[in-house]
Amino acid sequence: MAEELNSHPINRRNLLRLSGYSLGGMLVGGSVLTLAESLAGKATEPLNQKVEELLLKPQTPVPEFPVSAIEPNALIINTYDFTPNINLNEFRLVVDGEVNNPLSLDMSMIQTMPRKSMVIRHVCVEGWAAIVQWGGVPLRELIQLAQPKPGVKYAYFISADRYYESWDLASCLHPQTMLAYEKNGVPLPIENGAPLRLASPIKLGYKLSKWVVQVTLVSKLLPRRGFWEDQSYEWFAGL
């Protein structure tokens, strides 16, 4: 399949075949990164130059902790309203907005993508912190696959509990920013955001959306920027 792709000029139809159900098949024997890279070289539309720069420029990694430092009981469940009921058979992560290749992926497709594991500190502004191990897919893999158009500067994250967040693109493309589906070596518990939640050592807890169902790449922020930000919390919220 990968060979077939490489031997054909990349047109819109081929790009679309990368989204939805066909992605699963494309991953057999290959990695999405390789495909995304090969597509990036052949796409007729110019890629977002900022994305390319951010992917090439080594962003400083935050030091990680050894597995022995994990604090299994320190992560306090912090949910502003309710824990949503997500039917895994119907669940799709949508990556859309100003992109050449919108995605709609189920969990089995996402779990075939490159997986990263990291032990980092989660910091909540309410005055607690916890060292947690997260496993999942780096967000940059998904963003690369979706191919942001020139001008994209931000991502919106929509959650199933109607929580919403927005991030700057550089933070999204940081190598340690991921959509996690594992916590401390086991499948992510529902109350911690299953099936997918943001995890990153570069942002405060309230930026790390649980139950993410949609990532929308945009060139401009809307007046509503984030659930807590719209109640005067700081938007960048870097650590």
Ligand X SMILES: Nc1nc2c(c(=O)[nH]1)N[C@H]1C(S)=C(S)[C@@H](COP(=O)(O)O)O[C@H]1N2
The DSSP secondary-structure symbol of 8 reads S
208 part of the interface to ligand X, by CB under 6 A: yes
Q: Is 216 helix (H, G, I), strand (E, B) or coil?
A: strand
Q: Applying CB under 6 A, which of residues 192, 217, 218, 237 lies at the interface with ligand X?
A: 192
159 part of the interface to ligand X, by CB under 6 A: yes
**Interacting residues with ligand X between 115 and 144 (CB under 6 A):** 124
205 part of the interface to Mo ion, by CB under 5 A: yes
130 part of the interface to Mo ion, by CB under 5 A: no
- 177 in Cβ contact with 238 (< 8 Å): no
Q: How many CA atoms lie within 13 A of 238 on its CB side?
A: 7
Q: How far apart are CA 235 and CA 21, in angstroms?
A: 35
Which part of the chain contacts Mo ion (CB under 5 A), choosing from 63-71, 79-87, 89-97, 202-210? 202-210
Cα 34 to chain centroid, rounded: 18
161 part of the interface to ligand X, by CB under 6 A: yes
206 part of the interface to Mo ion, by CB under 5 A: yes
**Interacting residues with ligand X between 49 and 78 (CB under 6 A):** 75-78
Residue 163 binds which entry of Mo ion, ligand X, none, CB below 5-8 Å type-dependent = ligand X
For the packed helices 139-146 and 32-42, what is the interaxial angle rounded to 10 degrees? 30
Least separation in angstroms between CB 6 and ligand X: 39
What tokens appear for 121 in the block? 């500190």
Burial class of 159 by CB neighbour count within 10 A (0 to 12, 13 to 18, 19+): buried
146 part of the interface to ligand X, by CB under 6 A: no
Q: Applying CB under 6 A, which of residues 105, 109, 211, 226 lies at the interface with ligand X?
A: 211
Which part of the chain contacts ligand X (CB under 6 A), choosing from 23-31, 44-52, 140-148, 159-167? 159-167
Q: Strand 93-97 vs strand 212-218: parallel, antiparallel, or unpaired?
A: parallel
Count interface residues toward Mo ion (CB under 5 A).
4
Which C-beta is closer to ligand X: that of 21 or that of 128? 128
Q: How far apart are CA 19 and CA 35, in angstroms?
A: 12
The backbone region for 237, taken as left when phi is positive above 0, alpha when psi lies in -120 to 50, beta otherwise, is left
Q: Is 149 helix (H, G, I), strand (E, B) or coil?
A: coil
172 part of the interface to ligand X, by CB under 6 A: no
**Interacting residues with Mo ion between 53 and 92 (CB under 5 A):** 78
36 part of the interface to ligand X, by CB under 6 A: no
The contact set with ligand X (CB under 6 A) reads 75-80, 124, 159, 161, 163, 192-193, 205-206, 208-211
The contact set with Mo ion (CB under 5 A) reads 78, 124, 205-206
